[in-house]
Amino acid sequence: MMSHAPSLSASSVAAAAAGPDPAALRRWVAAFCIIRFDLEQGQVVEECYPPSALPPDLLLLAAFSSFPDSTSHHLPRHRSSLHDSLFSFRLPSPHHHINNNNTDTDTDGEEEEGDGFLYGFVFNRQRQDPRLPRGGEQKSVVILSHLPFSSVFRLLLQILGPLCFDLGPSALSLVASHVASWPPPSPGHHPMSLPIGSASLRVLLPDAAAALFPDSDLFSSFRGLLLHLWTLWELVLIAAPLLVVAPSPPQCSDAVAALVSLVAPLRCRADFRPYFTIHDPDFPRLNSLPDGLPFPPMLLGVTNLFFLRALKSIPNVISVGSPAPSSSRLLPPASSTAGTATAAAAAKKFSPSRLLNAVKLRRDGPLCLMTEHREAFWSAYAPATKPDTAVLNRLVDAGVSPRIEESMSVVNNEILRRHFLELTTNFLAPFGPYLRATAPSEGSSPFVDPPPLPPFRADEFLDGLAARGPGKFLSKRMRSNWLDLYRRFLEGRNFMPWFQKRRAAAEQEQQRVWREARMSVDVQKLISKMSELERVDLFNAVEKHLLREVQHSGSGTADSAATSQKLKKDLQTVFNVLPKDMQQLLLSNPKRAALLHGSPEHTKVPGNPSLQGSIISQTDLSIFPL
């Protein structure tokens, strides 16, 4: 969301003459580029800022991905007219490859701030002018980043794209100076306000475990194929190979982004390419897969129909969108489908011609797109989830007015998003017991080690799930083969990264809960119910937690200091009630003696008035590692 139209002019260029801080800029953007399609030379990088920010081979790959394929290339038909569009692509880093197991990997591993890929966000302008060679020209303004934050870069492109055509290459350094002044990316639950000129971009960044592209439009991308959304949800959930065919890069990349976000709150871990071209470094490998070898778990968006033959081993193909005539709008149309009725309404109408067309589509297969583009879905996958007709019936007919259509599209998209979020959440619910932190029971000692989370074994999980059933929400929406969906999910690429992150988060939460319990426990009340041996064990446990707290308290925060002070007092209290011979034995260790250095006094223990010991001064303690 943009607060208001930014005020950026040529007079602002001087302010950016010194150049932005390269390290600060790299936190968000790898490079800004202006790329021209030359009839003789092909893609030409006219300007790249910062200069030499990327290797020439990677920059060339980005240039090839910044224009429509020849088969989808269509200039506006009106004289001196413009056609602006936004789309995105995703390229593997130089270390990325597809291994022998047909899964994509990155030798550097996945990082919180990037996933080993380079994301490109493109503002493409096609201009027709009879005075130009071949009657027109194409130029793209591109933002390249290792971050997948489309909500930021699409808004930024709407500023940078037109500005580059007004000011020229100097616009790149001007916008870069603003981006370099932004605070570091802060993914999570709090929106960020990113100034750009006199405006501000207000965005919410997805964290490392959240689904990508939460702002994508499910309804606009699939409004002609809504009955297939539940099958598509399963295919993305299990990371099955899927080819998305569309007439243009905007329709193609928008559909892939919508599919990636379909399994929210789960993050799609399949290798997805919103706009895949023959210049992609992985294409030769994919084009030469041996017969019988399954296609890797990839989600590919294409506009070049050559891929229908080259990647014929992909088992699932969907074609979306419709060829659009000329348009002068900045963004792609909110919907690009034939007709205005929703799929829910269309599904209620039966006619012999519709049945014959469906049979013909299935018989001809995806190659029928070579002669005419149409929205269709081809797959031999047997889904476990039934389309939810109650959700489809809630969708609103968009009507014929573009303004009403856009508003209704927003409403319909929200209906679909809420449903699939609920569907995914309920699907993941059976894993809850393995991801649930436990707190100390009342009256027990919070100084013992927390119990480990239950071990996860896939076979035992499936057996238990088969006995219990999928739950009330899913049982109404799934067929008898629902357990196969869980089995495929466990074997797919999405499960383990999600489970490990949630498991680590649960363990961290459990440590926090037990730490808070140690802060609030009344140690004197606790030891009043303990035997002598239990008190010795408690002393050792408190000492261990105190040393651990001190070891990790380098931040010097008030919370850490308060925790250390509380544990010091608890350690003294426990030491005071130990027998004198035990105290002397403990103090024989010089480091522990330094830890407990002080003057002896006497105190009585509640519940044990006869038991006395030496109390340690609370004002003369220092911490040493044992």
**What integer is the mean pLDDT of 442-464?**
93
Query: What tokens appear for 334 in the block?
Result: 């909110």
Lowest average pLDDT, out of 67-81, 141-155, 517-531, goes to 67-81
Residue-wise pLDDT for 36-52, tens only, equals: 988 778 889 999 999 98
In terms of DSSP H, where are the helices of 429-494?
458-468, 472-475, 482-491
Instruction: Please answer whether residues 141 and 37 qualify as being in contact, where contact means their C-beta atoms are separated by less than 8 angstroms.
Output: no
Lowest average pLDDT, out of 159-168, 302-311, 331-340, 424-433, goes to 331-340
| Residue 102 CB contacts under 8 Å (≥ 6 apart), including other chains | 289, 293, 294, 295, 296, 297
**Burial class of 502 by CB neighbour count within 10 A (0 to 12, 13 to 18, 19+):** middle
Percent of the chain with pLDDT over 90: 58
Query: What tokens appear for 220 in the block?
Result: 């606009």
| Residue 470 CB contacts under 8 Å (≥ 6 apart), including other chains | 430, 478, 482
Separation CA 125–CA 140 (nearest Å):
6
| Residue 62 CB contacts under 8 Å (≥ 6 apart), including other chains | 33, 35, 54, 89, 91, 118, 120, 142, 144
pLDDT at 406 over 90: no
Distances (CA, A) of 35 to 137, 473, 570: 12, 51, 67
Mean pLDDT of all residues belonging to the chain:
83
**Burial class of 313 by CB neighbour count within 10 A (0 to 12, 13 to 18, 19+):** middle
pLDDT category at 118 given cuts 50, 70, 90 is very high
Q: What is the pLDDT of residue 351?
A: 60
Q: pLDDT: is 197 or 125 the higher one? A: 125
Instruction: Please answer whether residues 37 and 73 qualify as being in contact, where contact means their C-beta atoms are separated by less than 8 angstroms.
Output: no
pLDDT category at 103 given cuts 50, 70, 90 is very low
Distances (CA, A) of 281 to 90, 98, 314, 317, 429: 12, 10, 18, 22, 39
**What integer is the mean pLDDT of 605-618?**
39
Residue-wise pLDDT for 511-565, tens only, equals: 999 999 999 999 999 998 899 899 999 999 998 988 888 777 665 567 777 888 8
Dihedrals phi, psi of 307, to nearest 5 degrees: -70, -20
Query: What tokens appear for 180 in the block?
Result: 């370099």
Query: What tokens appear for 603 in the block?
Result: 């105190």
**Burial class of 472 by CB neighbour count within 10 A (0 to 12, 13 to 18, 19+):** exposed
Query: What tokens appear for 90 in the block?
Result: 């995703």
Query: What tokens appear for 37 in the block?
Result: 């399609």
Q: pLDDT: is 389 or 443 the higher one? A: 389
pTM of the predicted structure, to 2 decimals: 0.84
Q: What is the pLDDT of residue 565?
A: 85
pLDDT at 349 over 80: no
